[in-house]
Structure 1
């Protein structure tokens, strides 16, 4: 059978969506009969109105007293109602790019380029390639266009100016840019790109401990309180419940708290449902609500502390998040060194009959003065396990307020994957650094708890918190495609087995 196959509505772009989009196109490219398909759809269809206080907002089903209605089902576009782009837009652009770029060899550095266009060659593109170390470009090269006919491949040989370093996180970036201005884009517009890791620098971060680790720690016990510190830092632990109450570097408090939060380093296994979590055939959000995933009963089963080598202190806790059915047991070990750094190790053990887990990790509430946000990981835009083809490894700088993606119907947002290190600072570039150990983590820094996002029907009803809510995950479920289609692929689900998360917290000052 040689008849062509064209899929209809194979990807549904409702809210924070379009997971596993690359997998669809891997399948489409694998068979010459496959032509592609239709995304539902290009743009959200929200209706703009202005509130009494002059705020421009997006409205949808039910906002005009209309009954019956389909609620926010009109918000299913690759771009927002005003045609501003979303992270979904960048994923579609990347997956649709007409050039396949593959690493053939690292020594010597050789790249295979395949022209996926059906009618045009690659002579209209300038090729730019660069090598970065820890997010800093070390060398940039430009090549003249190559003649590659539709469907054909070509090998490119790259000659770096210097030998590839044996230290740091080393990335090769290859870009295809328009050689001349066209009717639809300016000269230099990026049409295709790919990034390759030549050396993973995570081990360097793990081994690069601070130089002051052996300074003496002063400790005291006052009732249930364990006080630890020296001239560099101070900490206050409540050993009855096993939580950190205060963390100061250079005599500045970095933690925040409120009555509706369950303490620092709390196990977090809930996310504000994305539209796909509410989708056909899965109904994950209903399962989470039924099982009380958003409001666990947290109990402390064991706490302790002891001196360790190099005059360090080790604090241990065992806590349980109990739900309607099942629970998650968390064993935590915090090793505190003389420079004030905390090597934190968490073991999450799901037990009983739990629903599909949206995530497994911890949440911290940090001072709102820590507004500047820098991370080394995938970026610059929001990305998830099954929607990260369009994100590249780099050193990205932003601020916490800008991490929020304004989906008109509030839901999980702002995540970044494969983070090796993140830094949150104040206006004086002083704050806290968190470094992955063993494996990178995913994280988000927002002015909202997951329950804040889940409890609002419109984004303009949300009230940002003063504090910074930092979520760090060993694993977060992908976005899937189930508001109109299959759910999250098995490989992007959170397995209900033991998960481990390890990172180091330390004070930071940009000098």
Structure 2
């Protein structure tokens, strides 16, 4: 009865947990009988609890296949069993990645600190009555138009099965010639995996929209699966109503058509995600230490920023994949308080890494 408590014993047994596994208990409350406003079975509330079952240690990784390294003409080519990766040393990023003849990347990962501003960030096409909006500061700092300049690239075969590429990049904005210093270590191993370690120093004097990497896959990688919060978009200050789970969608279904185009479709607390084509070939990304945020879209942040109505945005064929160490919260500054301090991204140092690996269906 309302206002009373009871103790329940759940008829579940401890599952056999895999290495690195997690367990959650989802409790859902539904109507037992029809009412004037909803039928029996209608869900009125839910809660999710992490269950700390013991988890075994991961098995040691066995010997990996060897890789070959060839350099020349501003490109380092790493080839292995069924894969080839080309690294453009002038651009400081992967320029080509193929697995079994399928191209996985249209453009390689670069530092990304910009998002299409939300209405809460500020009104992008009209003078704002509040000069303290985040968008005002972001545009003054030039975060929407940064330039990447590669300072140095070191390519080394560190083992028969491993190549390391160390890249130092200066990212210039309108406010500062050294707005961001990006030290990146790209490790390519014989299993075809790419580990991208990032050390970012943000020297700007404004809060940041996001800190992460952005890349593009060719069109056709439409199947999106993720293990994190969902199924709807969620942000650090808008995630309590989304449960951790395994979700699947298409890239097109991820777009949220706000009348004023803006940032959309983000996912928080993501453990891993994958993008695959109709043949089941694609890319899997795993957060190494901390959980990541991620989004996929056919609409670029620049395209969303330019448009003033959702019918003006142009869908591109390529798939944009944003992998974020963190993205700023949304706040409520359209008509209320700004983003709370704990959901802001201050200038300073950021370290994070992602592991990318090809997905190939079992024969």
**Counterpart Cα distance in 2 of 1:343 and 1:296:** 25
1:253-292 CA-to-partner distances (Å, cap 9, x unmatched) read 11114xxxxxx21111111110000176432112212221
CA distance in 2, matches of 1:154, 1:324: 61
Does the 8 A contact of 1:170 with 1:201 survive in 2? no
Tell me how far 1:154 sits from its aligned partner: 3.8
In the TM superposition, 1:298-309 aligns within 5 A as 298-309=148-159
Give per-residue Cα distances to partners, 1:332-383, cap 9 Å, x unaligned.
11111101101111111111x4321110001011111111100000000000
Aligned-partner Cα distance in 1 for 2:271–2:31:
33
Alignment of 1:92-491 (within 5 A): 147=1, 149-150=2-3, 152-160=4-12, 162-167=13-18, 168-199=21-52, 214-257=64-107, 264-278=108-122, 281=130, 282-309=132-159, 311-326=161-176, 327-351=179-203, 353-491=204-342
Quote the offset at 1:240 in angstroms.
2.6
Q: Show CA shifts across 1:417-448 (max 9, x none).
A: 01111010001111111111111100000011
8 Å CA contact retained: 2:294, 2:323:
yes
Post-superposition CA distance 1:74-96 (Å, at most 9, x none): xxxxxxxxxxxxxxxxxxxxxxx
User: 2:285–2:355: 8 Å Cα contact kept in structure 1?
Assistant: yes
Q: How many Å separate the matches in 1 of 2:237 and 2:152?
A: 37
**1:445-488 deviation digits (Å, cap 9, x = unpaired):** 00111111111001111111110000011110000011111100
Distance 2:235 2:84 in 1: 35
Question: Is the 2:14–2:53 Cα contact (8 Å) retained in structure 1?
Answer: no
CA contact (8 A) 1:234 1:251 kept: no
3-state SS in 2 of match to 1:460? helix
Post-superposition CA distance 1:369-406 (Å, at most 9, x none): 11110000000000000000111111100010110000
1:276–1:374 distance in 2 versus 1, CA, 3 Å: same
Return 5+ residue gaps in structure 1 as ranges: 1-146, 258-263
Taking structure 2 as the reference length, the TM-score comes to 0.92
What is the aligned partner in structure 2 of residue 13 from structure 1? Answer: none
Q: Rg: which structure is higher?
A: 1
Separation of aligned partners in 1, 2:229 and 2:8: 26
RMSD (Å) for aligned C-alpha atoms: 2.0
* Secondary structure of 2:121 counterpart: helix
Match of 1:275, SS?
Answer: coil
Partner Cα separation in structure 1 for residue 182 and residue 55 of structure 2: 25
Tell me if structure 1 keeps the 8 A contact 2:65–2:81: no
- Asked whether the 8 Å contact 1:232–1:339 carries over to 2, the reply is no
Q: Contact between 2:17 and 2:55, CA under 8 Å: does it hold in 1?
A: no
Q: Conserved in 2, the CA contact under 8 Å of 1:473 and 1:501?
A: no
Q: Indicate if the aligned counterparts of 1:202 and 1:437 stay in contact, CA closer than 8 A.
A: no
* 1:330 to 1:200, Cα distance in 2 relative to 1, 3 A: farther
Instruction: Determine the C-alpha separation between the residues in 1 that align with 2:279 and 2:28.
Output: 36
Between the two proteins, the alignment pairs up a number of residues equal to: 352
| Shift in alpha-carbon separation, 1:358–1:438, aligned structure 2, 3 A | same
1-structure distance, mates of 2:80, 2:161 = 12
Shift of 1:324: 2.2
Q: What runs of 5+ residues in structure 2 fail to find an aligned partner?
A: 124-128
Matched residues in 2 for 1:230 and 1:387: separation? 43
Please say if residues 177 and 192 of structure 1, whose CA atoms lie closer than 8 Å, have aligned partners that are also in contact.
yes
Q: Distance in 1 between matches of 2:96 and 2:55?
A: 29
Q: Secondary structure at the match of 2:139?
A: helix
Cα drift, residue 241 of structure 1: 2.8
